[in-house]
Structure 1
Amino acid sequence: MAGHSKWANIKHRKGAQDKKRAKQFTRAIKEITVTVKDGNGADPETNPSLRNAISNAKGVNMPKDTIERAIKKASGADADSYELVTFEGYGPHGIAIFVECTTDNTNRTVASIRSIFSKSGGSLGTNGSLEFLFDRKGVFVLDTTSIEQSTEELELELIDGGALEFEKDDELLTVYTDFVDFGKMSSKLEDLNIEPKNAEVQRIPLNTVELPLDQAQQILKLIDKFEEDDDVQNVYHTLDVTDELILELENE
């Protein structure tokens, strides 16, 4: 998982400064809507999934009143209804890509995702064809500047909550757990009175492919195309995000 969090955190910081902020808000509102409508209701005290969605919304600096409006709308009779769908395929240079979407029109989403794959020289595969290339992990991003404990003390506490691996990137600490320990870690952070900047189940590649810089940049542009689509929530891939590539991203 080396380099995974650093690349994700670079994207997070850049996204807060440009047009991606609107996309982040759209994603957060959809996450809130799905968690409210999943049967556990609009009260974050009794709906841990909603608490997590609210935390993620705060992590992208969504205003409190926008969060409250999203919850209220999601609990109303006229709330949007979303379906979770996934797509798997290959981009150029043999890079596997897994796309997670939240959509109110599956036909539109299928057509859009297929078009992005096709125009890039890639191909859309069948569901389940690439899932074995990824491992589902709980991923929690913590801002250590707001935590009184030292990083070493904190890590010892979090191991009790199921933490398997840590990645430090300046003031951010990324914590990885097994998929089944996502709830356990969420509870541990609540006990420690720590609100993560982001917490979600992600698909981490078991193996990655290193490409020349120009080819790697081509893949990242393709990933940006997916992420610009309103229906796309997450994009995972098997590209090796090298130090050289990270340096290039930081200088953009």
Structure 2
Amino acid sequence: MAGHSKFKNIMHRKGAQDKKRSGMFSKLSREITVAAKMGMPDPDMNPRLRAAVNAAKAQSMPKDNIQRAIDKASKGDTENYEEIRYEGFGPGGVSLIIEALSDNRNRTATNVRTAVSKNGGNLGASGSVSHGFDRMGLINYPASAGDAEKVFEAALEAGAEDVTSTEEGHEIWTEQASLHEVAKALEPVLGEAEGAKLAWRPQTMVEVSEADAATLFKLIDALDDDDDVQTVWGNYEVSDEVMAKLG
């Protein structure tokens, strides 16, 4: 298991994540509202909003919830959310980038710092780990979109940089500026993506031990439980043998 995608980060905890569906919907709603507020409330005219809506649909978020989040932004009936990035280290020397949307910077900073310090990590200054990641576009498709060869050919034709295919699905990587252009070009061939967003792709990976992996996943769980935290990126890699032991 590699830690550059939150989708992969949480696959081993799918059962637990299903129980947190309401919390997931809250995060998705927040992203939809922020995207709609920053641009036009029409997904066809707002790439970020379109990506947020597609991500919500992929998680079976009810249409009424999606529309309500868009309407909140249109009516100005919403908090002013700020995009915040935290950088630091987790167990085993793993580098972590934590992205949040918050209406209270002090609250979020306290919660994130507490979660990290209580689970074998520590926060660093801005730029302390991001130099080891590339800022890229990431488009996620389910395995049902097609086999690896079909997705690779479609991605190559659309102008993508790289593709990673597993049993869980496909990750299509693009240049940062080309994200929405590539995503749009893929739709006629592969259908709507599960998600399309800017991401942090690690340049090198760190393999973690069983003990460190157990603590690391507790840290990711604690961060994921925070309503303000949207995404956690990391450069960790966990072997199949360790994953089997952790269950």
% identical equivalent positions? 35
Question: In the alignment, residue 35 of structure 1 is paired with which amino acid?
Answer: A
- 3-state DSSP of counterpart to 2:236: coil
Match of 2:107 in 1: 108
TM-score (norm 1): 0.87
Residue 188 of structure 1: which of 185, 188, 191 is its match? 185
Is the contact between residue 10 and residue 17 of structure 2 (CA under 8 Å) also seen in structure 1?
no
- The C-alpha deviation readout for 1:188-232, integer Å capped at 9, x for no partner, is 123436101122221121112222212211111111111111110
Match of 1:222 in 2: 219
Question: In the alignment, residue 202 of structure 2 is paired with which amino acid?
Answer: P
Match of 1:234 in 2: 231
d(CA) in 1 for partners of 2:63 and 2:13?
20
d(CA) in 2 for partners of 1:247 and 1:164?
32
Q: Which runs of 4+ in 1 moved over 6 A?
A: none
Is the contact between residue 16 and residue 60 of structure 1 (CA under 8 Å) also seen in structure 2?
no
Give the direction of change, closer, same or farther, for the CA distance of 1:8–1:164 in structure 2 (3 Å limit): farther
Is the contact between residue 3 and residue 242 of structure 1 (CA under 8 Å) also seen in structure 2?
no
- 3-state DSSP of counterpart to 2:183: helix
Unaligned runs of 5+ in 1: none
Give the direction of change, closer, same or farther, for the CA distance of 1:64–1:95 in structure 2 (3 Å limit): same
Unaligned runs of 5+ in 2: none
- 3-state DSSP of counterpart to 2:85: strand
Give the direction of change, closer, same or farther, for the CA distance of 1:143–1:118 in structure 2 (3 Å limit): closer
Give the superposed CA RMSD. 2.4
The question of 1:25 aligning with 2:25 is answered: yes
d(CA) in 2 for partners of 1:41 and 1:16?
31
Is the contact between residue 54 and residue 67 of structure 1 (CA under 8 Å) also seen in structure 2?
yes
- 3-state DSSP of counterpart to 1:17: helix
Q: Which gives a bigger RCO, structure 1 or 2 (Cα 8 Å, sep 6+)?
A: 2
Match of 2:163 in 1: 166
- The C-alpha deviation readout for 1:138-195, integer Å capped at 9, x for no partner, is 22221343x4x66423421221222232222336222222222212211212343610
d(CA) in 2 for partners of 1:223 and 1:3?
11
Q: Displacement, 1:60?
A: 1.0
Q: Displacement, 1:238?
A: 2.2
Question: In the alignment, residue 234 of structure 1 is paired with which amino acid?
Answer: T
Match of 2:35 in 1: 35
Question: In the alignment, residue 62 of structure 2 is paired with which amino acid?
Answer: P
Aligned length: 246
- The C-alpha deviation readout for 1:113-158, integer Å capped at 9, x for no partner, is 121222224222111121101112222221343x4x6642342122
Give the direction of change, closer, same or farther, for the CA distance of 1:2–1:78 in structure 2 (3 Å limit): closer
d(CA) in 1 for partners of 2:210 and 2:132?
23
- 3-state DSSP of counterpart to 1:115: helix
TM-score (norm 2): 0.89
- 3-state DSSP of counterpart to 2:171: strand
Question: In the alignment, residue 93 of structure 2 is paired with which amino acid?
Answer: G
What pairs with 1:191-210 in structure 2 (closer than 5 Å)? 191-192=188-189, 194-210=191-207
Question: In the alignment, residue 82 of structure 1 is paired with which amino acid?
Answer: Y
Is the contact between residue 138 and residue 182 of structure 1 (CA under 8 Å) also seen in structure 2?
yes
Match of 1:95 in 2: 94
Give the direction of change, closer, same or farther, for the CA distance of 1:226–1:160 in structure 2 (3 Å limit): same
Match of 2:11 in 1: 10
Give the direction of change, closer, same or farther, for the CA distance of 1:152–1:238 in structure 2 (3 Å limit): closer
Give the direction of change, closer, same or farther, for the CA distance of 1:13–1:177 in structure 2 (3 Å limit): farther
Is the contact between residue 180 and residue 196 of structure 2 (CA under 8 Å) also seen in structure 1?
no
Q: Displacement, 1:25?
A: 0.8
What pairs with 1:111-130 in structure 2 (closer than 5 Å)? 111-130=110-129
